[in-house]
Amino acid sequence: MNDIIKQIEQESQEVRAKFPGFKPGDTINVAVKIKEGNKERIQNFQGTVIQRKRKGSNGETFTVRKISNGIGIERIFPLLSPNIEEIKVVRRGKVRRAKLFYLRGRQGKSARIKERMN
């Protein structure tokens, strides 16, 4: 990649440094700013990270999956978006692949992820 583009993307590193490192399999809590008319409030979305895309670039996104009232919900967040207030790692998971799409077809016991201890 060209040096100039690298330097431009470097500016976003400060935003990146704000967040803890997390991987697919981790359970995280994302605090998202939501605008309703003139008011701004914060909504939390807690679930399992099932993928991180375009890692390292300005367009990096991650997908969080959770089961809400028995229905699987997946939300894609842009990591560097100014609307993301905070990311908290609730639990670290031990998984053997980068994309956890296999979770989509599972529920209950088989959808568990072992905890990573280290």
Partner 1 sequence: MSGIIGKKIGMTSVYSADGRNVACTVIEAGPCVVTQVRNDDVDGYNAIQLAYGERKPKNTPKALLGHFKKANTTPKRKVVEFRHFRADVGHEVSLGQEVILKDVFAEGDFVDVVGASKGKGFQGVVKRHNFSGVGEQTHGQHNRLRAPGAIGACSFPSRVFKGLKMAGRTGGKRVKITNLQVVKILPEKNVVLVSGSVPGAKNSFVILEK
Q: Which two tokens stand for residue 93?
A: 């998971």
Of 79, 93, 76, 82, whose CA–CA distance to 20 is shortest?
79
Examine residue 1 and tell whether it contacts partner 1 (CB under 8 A).
yes
Least distance from partner 1 to the Cβ atom of residue 65, Å:
22
Residue span 8-27 as binding mask against partner 1, x where in contact by CB under 8 A, dash where not:
xx--x---------------
CB of 64 to partner 1, least distance (A): 17
Q: Which of 49, 64, 80, 95 binds partner 1 (CB under 8 A)?
A: 80
Phi/psi at 51 (nearest 5 deg)? -165, 155
What are phi and psi for residue 43, nearest 5 degrees?
Answer: -115, 135
